[in-house]
Amino acid sequence: MIEENLAELATEAPGTVLPQVLLETDLADGYVPHSGPTGAMFVSFNKRGVSSITLDDDAADFEDRFEIQFGRPVFPVAELPPKLSRGLDKALATKRLGTLQIDWEGMSEFQQAVLRKTAEILPGEVRPYSWIAKEIGNPKAVRAVGTALARNPVPIVVPCHRVVRNDGHLGNYYYGTDVKRAVLEAEGMDVDTLEGLADRGIKLTGSDTTHIFCNPTCRDARRTTKRHTVEFRNESEARRAGYRPCQHCRPAVA
């Protein structure tokens, strides 16, 4: 009798209950729409931090692709947690990762190393894939670096758009070269000049007053006037000319 009475009282739970339970038990992520440097994007998160940033405005498509990629569902929520919201706003304003919490779980140690190093590249500057590989102590892993960047789940805040081909050309980008160019230009980079150097085979520039050579977009290189700028095709050429590497952009990594 008691069971029958209880059964009569049973009712269907509100549709918001399951998503909330999954979010609280860390079996799903939440997400919000957000404006980014190229327009609409979605930002997902969990208890560990921001788990993905997707440049898109189609929520259904985003949800489907998220579940395929991460193996768990994602649900829309009203807002980001305050700490994440502040961190994201600051990261987008300063164009630096800063203290924004990222969910690194699920990434290999190698991918984490690649993305953390990429996050050190300053806005308005770029580095080649080989630079990342050398900086993380694995100079032969240039192709693997490219693969790790192609799978970057948090673009923009971890600026994989600031990594270019070893010959200096922009190279590929998950969202297309036009988007990569637009984001770099929004950060103050003269992409046409960069591409022009690459077309001529110039990978490094130096100052004939300091005799220091840099990556062409290094903040020190940009302060050198055209009159005092010397161009080099490679590190050996720069060293033969008596130049030493910049300590800021580290164009030659031991």
Known catalytic residues are: 160
Structure token pair of residue 130: 């080989």
